[in-house]
Amino acid sequence: MKYYSKVITVLILMLLTTPFQAQENWVAPTEAEERSKTYSMEEAIRDKQYVFAFDFNKSSETAMWSGIFVMLEKRFRYADYDITLQCFSSGGEKESYDKELATKRGAAVKKFLINKGIPKSRINIEVYGNKDIYGIKSEGFHGLKDYVYHRRVEPIFVLKEKEEVKDFVADYLNAKTLDSDIEEGEKIFLKLIKPYVKAIKEGYHLQELPGVGRPSDDEDEFKDQATTLIKKTVAASKNPKKLAKLFATYTLGSFIDLFTSNQTKIIAKNRKELYDVIVEAFTNECFPKYQSNVISHDYYSNSQKFLFSIISYEISKLSNHEKYKIRARFIAGKIYNSYSTESKIRKFNTKMNRYSFFSANVGHFFSQSKYRYRD
């Protein structure tokens, strides 16, 4: 019984390994076989080339095209790429015929890509026919008898050249007017954010809760409260009912204050998330080279994206000089909740191009109690 088990195991292993051995010992087919064969997905993977292949003397779509598109979809849809379709046909026919066939193949692939949603403005066609048969980027193919591979349109992805974004800040840098620029920048900023801050505070509002025993925010009033509490405690010490009432009043006040404190934390968090979007909008509009991801990132809610869009639009209506003044305000001007000892002229000279410094300082501005915690 053990002997038969071993024999069966060996046979199974032979069956499993036979296809791999056959693949390793692959022999190129004859010219006639090549001309009559259809190019398959497995062969495309084998050749490590993702091309749009065609049947002999044909310029129509084949079943494998959709698979090729899926493999390269991210590159096809990447807007910064232009797509050049290099079009080939098998050698051996007349040059004029091969070029005409290659042209038709390029047009078929272009139509296929447009139907997939690729803008036609990004697609260019280069016709080679049977000339330069291996293509500009092709590697790893041998022998002019590889007719299947020659019958192809090869997509080449070319990164677009981008015009360098010019920063307007250099047009307005002036240390002599720095103080007035900072002052005017704050006025422009406060005027622009006023309606949005008001809406955010109304949307996340701290409830007014009664409570005789709630501790006061004012230091002097709190001391008076503490003194009164001690006096009342001493006076009521001989009267259990008065003492219990006094204890209940101030305990209730403490519970109310605890609730208010927790509520305030939630409100502050919600406000901060919206203020952070305002910070992003100002950074994005005041620094031409900065690219915010608020609109494209799933992290942000629809309401945050909407706020970003409308405040970005308002900032975009400012002149570059006004945007410069806002930059000067938050880079060289006073920084809230910061212990920085740098002089404003030093910050002006070294950090006017630092959008991260600007963003952090606008964030510090919104961390003030009157924005985060108070109505």
CATH 3.40.640.10 fits domain 29-159 = no
> What is the per-residue pLDDT across 41-83, written as a single tens digit (0 to 9) for each?
444 444 446 789 888 888 999 888 888 888 888 888 888 888 9
pLDDT band, very low/low/confident/very high, at 181 (cuts 50, 70, 90)? very high
**Position 34 pLDDT exceeds 70:** no
Mean pLDDT of 337-361: 86
| Mean pLDDT over the full length of the chain | 74
Highest mean pLDDT among 66-80, 112-126, 159-173, 357-371: 112-126
pLDDT value of residue 235: 64
- In this predicted model, what pLDDT tens digit does every residue of 298-320 receive, in sequence order? 888 888 899 999 999 999 999 99
Nearest to 52 by CA among 98, 89, 7, 96: 89
pLDDT for 78 equals 83
Mean pLDDT of 272-277: 90
For residues 113-127, average pLDDT: 92
Among 28-37, 232-241, 327-336, 346-355, whose mean pLDDT is lowest?
28-37
237 versus 107: the higher-pLDDT residue is: 107
Average pLDDT score over residue span 336-361: 86
Query: How high is the pLDDT of residue 23?
Result: 34
Reported as a pLDDT band with limits 50, 70 and 90, residue 329 is very high
Two tokens, residue 75: 């590159």
Confidence of residue 217 (pLDDT cuts 50, 70, 90): low
**Residue 46 has what pLDDT?**
45
State both tokens at 223: 């001391």
Identity at 256, one-letter amino acid code? I
Helix H, strand E, coil C: the string for the chain is CHHHHHHHHHHHHHHHHHHHHHHHCCCCCCHHHHHHCCCCHHHHHHHCCCCEECCCCCCCCCCCHHHHHHHHHHHHHCCCEEEEEEEECCECECHHHHHHHHHHHHHHHHHHHHHCCCCHHHEEEEEEECCCCCCCCCCCCCCCCCHHHHCEEEEEEEECCCCCCCCHHHHCCCHHHHHHHHHHHHHHHHHHHHHHHHHHHHHCCCCCCCCCCCCCCCHHHHHHHHHHHHHHHHHHCCCHHHHHHHHHHHHHHHHHHHHHHHHHHHHHHHHHHHHHHHHHHHHHHHCCCCCCCCCCCCCCCHHHHHHHHHHHHHHHCCCHHHHHHHHHHHHHCCCCCCCCCCCHHHHHHHHCCCHHHHHHHHHHHHCCHHHHCCC
Considering only the C-alpha atoms of the chain, give the largest distance between any 2 of them, rounded to a whole number of Å. Answer: 120
Contact 348, 332 (CB under 8 A): yes
Q: Note the pLDDT of residue 31.
A: 46
CATH 3.30.1330.60 occupies which residues in the chain? 29-159
Task: Specify the pLDDT at position 303.
Answer: 86
Q: Is 165 left (phi over 0), alpha (psi -120 to 50) or beta?
A: beta
**Percentage of the chain modeled with pLDDT above 70:** 61
pLDDT tens figures, 192-215: 999 998 888 888 765 554 444 445
